[in-house]
Amino acid sequence: MNKSRSSCDKRASQPSVTRITRSSSSQARNLDPAENHSIGPGPCGKQKRKQTDSALAQDLSQMSVSRQDPLPVSKGKMSKGSTDSVQVGLSSGSRSDQDKSSVSTAKSSTRGGLASVARLVKLGRCKKVVVVAGAGISTASGIPDFRTPGTGLYANLEKYNIPYPEAVFNIDYFTNDPQPFFSLAKALYPGSHRPNYIHYFIRMLHHKGLLLRMYTQNIDGLEKLCGIPDDKLVEAHGSFATASCHLCYTAYPAVDAKHAIMNDNVPICTFCAATVKPDVVFFGEDLPQKYFLHTKDFPKADLLVIMGTSLQIEPFASLVNTVRSTVPRLLLNRYAVGPFERVPLRRGDHMELGDLEDTVRRFAEMLGWSVEIEDLMRSQETLSISPLISEPTPKRAASSSSEETDSETDSKSSA
């Protein structure tokens, strides 16, 4: 992630209206209002800112319930609204019985929704699929979500006496005390976990030539590890792949930063002696440039799949409201979130609630992809674990003209 070199004073003077940054409502409740305006730009510096398919609309009218107006699109700072960026479980403790009853009602009203969307895909009506994902897709890989009481990553930070859970991702709090984040980073650094069936389902969407783009809130790197090409992936909240000084943005070797953090040391910038951190987007920092692909992708989408997220972190959460009104939206999650909490749902909205991996497996079976995904998992894991053996030079030269990139090969749909 490229960073601009600027002083702290210059950062503070930039008007917030010229940037789109990550922040949370919990943060806003716990910070002085004046302090909110002083949160400077992040890793990427400053960022500037119907058509109707009648056949598809006819199918949608037969599949769903009454329509509601979409939620307003959020602009400006990322804030914690109706969902959470990196967790699929409870958003802030246990839901009330009334909430669960509402979810149950909503679920019954969309019975058959999974099959209906699978039918559209098989009929060739969905050729530009956008996937929006959060930490729920990684829990099957052994990575805890953030907020589930007792087991979530935030619960493990209580020993640091942080003022509120999201403070661990607050750039000002990090400046004063980086240790809580570094403790969290040790549990999230890529290398300790493997992609699961859900990741490979998304990879199969690409393999079939259907994936327009995947937007992930996760920083665990499992999407890339399972083979989703970089040009198909938007890591909206950054990653551990690079590191830099959080003040002057001087690049720092990511390997050295990881070694220091994993050994409970604090990596220090060689230019200004401030603390170095992985290029994960904190609350108050600018989103990466690649995030702004959404302005082209979402209007093009003909199917939106939302999985493993509680849609609480803005502006990411509002992306789901930017597809055309005729485009079906499918929520695969443990609980209803965001616009899917409304009963009845908007026409074209569908959700399947429960264990995410089980749901995705059923979806793959409906599409007839189960065997292919299992084969893909085995082949990809073999490549990841075992080093590739180079072929003799003459044979490589003879076949070089027919070689294709992974992205080119996968994007060709198999019959």
Q: What is the identity of the amino acid at 116?
A: S
Cβ distance 93 to 149 under 8 Å?
yes
> Which alpha helices (H) appear in 3-149, and where do they start and end?
8-13, 25-30, 33-36, 54-63, 97-109, 113-122
Closest by CA to 14, choosing from 48, 64, 52, is 48
Nearest alpha carbon to residue 249 among 230, 266, 271:
271
Pairing of strands 211-216, 233-235: parallel
State the Cα–Cα distance between residues 196 and 367, nearest whole angstrom: 18
237: annotated active-site residue = yes
Task: Give whole-number Cα distances, 226 to 129, 222, 304, 334, 414, in Å.
Answer: 18, 6, 21, 23, 19
Do residues 318 and 338 lie in contact, with contact meaning Cβ atoms separated by under 8 Å? Answer: no
Q: One of 207, 237, 246, 294 is an active-site residue; which one? A: 237
**Phi and psi (nearest 5°) for 374?**
-60, -40
Amino acid sitting at position 247 = L
- Residues annotated catalytic, as ranges: 237
